[in-house]
Amino acid sequence: MSTDPRKAAFEARKLGKRLHRQVGQAIVDYNMIEPGDKVMVCLSGGKDSHALLDILMSLRERAPVDFELIAVNLDQKQPGFPEDVLPAYLTKLGVPFHIENQDTYSIVKKLIPEGQTMCSLCSRLRRGILYRVARDLGATKIALGHHRDDIVVTLMMSMFFGGRMKSMPPKLVSDDGRNMIIRPLAYVAETDLERWAEIREFPIIPCTLCGNQDNLQRVQVRKMLREWERQYPGRTDNMFRAMSTVVPSHLADRKLFPFASLQVTGVPDPDGDRAFDPDDEPCATPAAQPLQWFAREDVP
């Protein structure tokens, strides 16, 4: 950010408006929050979940739709975890919250050999606990802090290492069929969240369970994506946009398109075999759609 106080304040307001607009647009586009919802915001203590709670609290104040927020933190009993930080912060904010104490740290350390990746098991344990907590609290939606870059990185990992085209959708039903998961930060760039965390001075609590694992596939893919973005600005946006502009006839999934029964019709097809021709018009971004109540720009 700028060292000039007036310029820094201007940049902060501009960033705040963009973040609120993008989160509001994602909520509208995917119908994430409805009247009467009780939204459980999963707060890890990292920059993303802090920003998610911060923006949702602001949007709730001016939304004509009535909904509740409750922040939930899962204390996994990691050694040295500052367990007093989040309760003090949430009490100061005046938002309802719940701290769930579960020693998943010992389980992960016991089952995963030293030096191997712990994220997968940790994530499964955490997910199951949070689903149960949501039901106990009567939450109708579970809000997670995954952002645009997380979604694109997951797509790339699925393609590179899993042989599938799948990622983190902005909204889905949980694998137990009992919870609705939403990702209101789906349109937001990670670099913007980093700047917002500095401006808002969130009490960041880093995850220390894994230690510094630079060899993780996700870490490596994220570094590659950032390098691409530095060389070719806008590439991440284009990749995210592609996920919502799928052309099944130009892929290879027989379940999505009837390749086996495909016949010539004699009728021109606007897509046809022009798949690799230069685009006649630039793709429209999700934010180009009409803004509704959640996506207004009158942010304080």
Q: Give me the residue spans of the domains in the chain.
A: 5-241+285-295
Picking from 40-54, 130-144, 275-289, which range would have the lowest pLDDT averaged per residue?
275-289
The string of pLDDT tens digits covering residues 5-37 is 889 999 999 999 999 999 999 999 999 999 999
The string of pLDDT tens digits covering residues 151-167 is 999 999 999 999 999 99
DSSP, res 210: S
Average pLDDT, the chain: 87
- Please tell me the chain's helix, strand, coil percentages from 3-state DSSP, rounded to the nearest 5: 45, 10, 45
How far apart are alpha carbons 8 and 1 in whole angstroms? 6
pLDDT value at residue 85: 95
Picking from 13-22, 30-39, 237-246, 276-285, which range would have the lowest pLDDT averaged per residue?
276-285
Is the CATH number 3.40.50.620 carried by domain 5-241+285-295?
yes
pLDDT value at residue 64: 81
How far apart are alpha carbons 284 and 266 in whole angstroms? 30
Give the model's confidence band at 2: pLDDT under 50 very low, under 70 low, under 90 confident, else very high: low
* Mean per-residue pLDDT, 32-57: 97
* Mean per-residue pLDDT, 123-148: 94
How far apart are alpha carbons 218 and 250 in whole angstroms? 28
Q: Which two tokens stand for residue 267?
A: 């009728």
